[in-house]
Structure 1
Amino acid sequence: MEAKLSTLTHSEVSMTANVGNIDRVIRLIVGIVLVVLPIFTTSTIWANPVIAYGAVIIGLVLIVTSALKFCPLYRILGMSTCQR
C-alpha cells in the first residue's frame, strides 16, 4: 500500500482576517476580564481550579484571536465578521 501525501496550497493554509473590528474589541474586553478576574478577585467561583484555569485559557484565546484578526472556528464554520 502506498501512502499519499496531500499538498496544501497557499490559499488552504492562509490566515485571512475573519474577525471584524467590533468583534475584536468585544473579544479583547471579555478576554482581559476572563484573565484578570480569577487572579484578582476572591469570589468563591474562582476557588475551583478548573473554572479559574479554564477562564484564563479562554481569555487568552480570545485575546490572541483578537490580536491576529483570525478565528480558526470562524474559518471552520465559514463565518466572517469583517466588513466587505
Structure 2
Amino acid sequence: MLQTNIGTLDRSFRLVIGLGLLLWFFLDQGTGFWHYAKLIGLVAIATAALRTCPLYTVLGLRT
C-alpha cells in the first residue's frame, strides 16, 4: 500500500494544473515536443488521485 504524502492543498493544486494542461493539449492543434509535453498533466492527475508522490517519498517530504 502506498503511503499518503500529499496534503489537500497540494492535491488540489496538482489536479487543477493537470486538468489545465490536458485541456490545453486537446484544444491546441500543435505538433512536436511541446505539444506532447502537456501530457505531463496525466502525472499530476495520477499523483492527486493516488495521494502519493514518488519523488516526495524519495526526498522524505510530506505536505
Normalization by structure 1: what TM-score? 0.69
1:30-49 aligned within 5 A: 30-42=17-29, 47-49=30-32
Q: What is the aligned-residue identity percentage? A: 38
SS of 2:57's equivalent in the other structure is helix
**How many pairs were matched up?**
63
Give the helix-richer structure, 1 or 2: 2
Gaps of 5+ in 2: none
Structure 2 residue aligned with 1:9: none
Q: Which has the higher contact order (CA 8 A, sep 6+)?
A: 2
Gaps of 5+ in 1: 1-13
Superimposed CA distance per residue, residues 7-56 of structure 1 (whole angstroms, 9 cap, x where no aligned partner): xxxxxxx41100000000000000001111021135xxxx2421111111
Of residues 37, 52, 55 in structure 2, which corresponds to 1:54?
A: 37
When the two chains are superposed, the root-mean-square deviation of aligned CA atoms in Å is 1.2
* 2:52 is the alignment partner of 1:70: yes
Larger-gyration structure (1/2): 1
Normalization by structure 2: what TM-score? 0.90
